[in-house]
Amino acid sequence: MEKRNFFQRLTGHFFTITRHRHQVIKHCKKAGILWQGLRHDLSKYTPTEFIPGVKFYTGHRSPNEGEREVFGYSKAWMHHKGRNRHHFEYWIDFTLNPDEGLQGMPMPTRYVLEMFCDRIAASKNYNRKNYDDSFPLAYYEKNKSHYILHKDTKELLERLLHMLADEGEDKTFAYIRKNIDWKHSPKW
């Protein structure tokens, strides 16, 4: 693959994150959590995240992967997950029992729904014309062995991903609006 110049990386990264954010806003609106969508991923426009995003932009994978390859970790990702509650990594903490170590804490429902919308948008963004409603579930299934999720968070996310894959976007968002009370978390 040819090396991209600075302007190509700058515009490519900007349009990729903006297109993704607009898709999340659209999906959050369908889920009845528009405010979540409007605030989604604003930290990606801060220098800590945006500059490495441009530097490591390739157009076919997350710039965080490139930053990890160079430095062994991604400072942009560390910044991002610490400021965006729709990432399950934000909710990992030690339990009161030191023998249990790190655990996934229950995510408020509004953030689980935003995470669900984020996964759909990311799948659409990376797969474009090849996308179908099974892609977010397939990506989750491929990676879930190393996810640290609270059992209730995991149950809701998996239920929605399976519903999306089996019944499609319209039925899944209708189900969310009718059956998921995101105002009273973490119970659903």
Residues 6+ apart with CB under 8 A from 97: none
d(CA 5, CA 55): 10
pTM: 0.93
Residues 6+ apart with CB under 8 A from 158: 140
Determine the pLDDT at residue 187.
Answer: 45
CB of 30 closer than 8 Å to CB of 13:
no
Residue type present at position 161? L
CB of 80 closer than 8 Å to CB of 88:
no
Per-residue pLDDT reduced to its tens digit, 13-33 = 999 999 999 999 999 999 999
Per-residue pLDDT reduced to its tens digit, 132-160 = 999 999 999 999 999 999 999 999 999 99
Answer whether residue 1 shows pLDDT above 80: no
Span 38-57, average pLDDT = 98
CB of 44 closer than 8 Å to CB of 53:
yes
Query: Residue 59: pLDDT band by 50, 70, 90 thresholds?
Result: confident
